[in-house]
Amino acid sequence: MPDIQSSEKVKFAGSIHQKNDISAIAAFHDFLVIGSDESKDVIQLLHKQDQGYSVVLDISVSSDENGVGEIDIEGLSVDTEGMLYVIGSHSAKRKTIKDKNTYLANRQRLATVVQETQRNTIFKLELNPETGQVMKRAANTQLRTVLEQDIVLHRFLDLPSKENGIDIEGLAVHEEKLYLGFRGPVLRGNYVPVMVTEFEDLLDYELRYVQLAGHGIRDITRVKNGFLLIAGPVGDGLGPYQLYFWNGQDMIPGIDRPDTSSFCQWIGDIPLPKTYPGAKAEGLTVLKEKGKTITAMIVYDGVPNGAPTVFKIKR
């Protein structure tokens, strides 16, 4: 039976900018790249050491010297050529209640939904495989137009994230195709969209759907013959957080299709750090794949330095 067999704790050393808010991770040779949804436009490069990984470089995602503001980094992925892709959530945001505010001020905040345009970009960075330095940068802001025109997704653009609005939290790349995993919306029948597109022309895309028992996608990463997915709540509720294998094919059924129920398989519940019951499994990357055994690292939001944990996963 497929499962998450065992785990090993790993240490991140150095100055982690947003140590409690790691939201994305990607492996790159002997490096890791980590991102936070609170760190404006900066991601961090870590190098493998004997006891874990150590921060060696801060990378500004934007070429703008003044930065572009908080882009709400939610997905990272590196292709086989060393191209790093970074995506913002493309989401609207409802303001949250603050303890120091008055009752009326908090009611006003709760009634306020804002659009932050800096979230609406996908970045492409060419990394030096020896040093991790950025050699080239590019950005594409077409995706907002795609979402506005799509017959399904446009209805969710004005809804806040965490309230079944548009919220992109997963990014994988395979054979020059980008796979964008949505935390929300989750459609009737528990269908979650994954957009398959290309960086150079985001207007040329396909929507595929996966079923995750009512959960949304919190991250997606490429493995042999498919993808691993972290599934978790669409809203702010506590877990569970679960790991799935998806073969990449659309799960919408039809009399002219084979049985799609086997396209996505539950692997197991993702263990959460025992001392942090509010932790959220947010980032996933594959370190090694051999036969049916995958060595993967998961990081958690809401835990100091992300509590990086290596899992042995049996498919």
Inter-residue contact 77 to 85 (CB < 8 Å): yes
What pLDDT sits at residue 2? 52
Contacts of 41 (CB under 8 A, 6+ apart): 60, 61, 62, 64, 67, 68, 69, 70, 71, 73, 118
Inter-residue contact 58 to 41 (CB < 8 Å): no
Q: Write out pLDDT tens, residues 101-145.
A: 999 999 999 999 999 898 999 999 999 888 888 999 999 999 999
Average pLDDT value over all residues in the chain: 92
Q: Write out pLDDT tens, residues 17-51.
A: 877 889 999 998 899 999 987 777 899 999 998 87
pLDDT at 164 over 70: yes
Q: Which domains does the chain have, with CATH numbers?
A: 3-314 (2.115.10)
How far CA 73 is from CA of 52, 70, 198, 282, in Å, comes to 23, 8, 19, 11
For residue 237, with 0-12 CB atoms within 10 Å meaning exposed, 13-18 middle and 19 or more buried, which class applies?
exposed
High-pLDDT (> 70) share of the chain, %:
97
Give the model's confidence band at 1: pLDDT under 50 very low, under 70 low, under 90 confident, else very high: very low
pLDDT at 168 over 70: yes
The neighbour count for residue 161, using CB atoms within 10 Å, is 24
Q: Quick one: tokens of 32?
A: 């890791």
What pLDDT sits at residue 5? 79
Q: Write out pLDDT tens, residues 267-309.
A: 999 998 888 878 999 999 999 999 889 999 999 998 989 999 9
Measure the CA–CA gap between 313 and 77, rounded to whole angstroms.
20
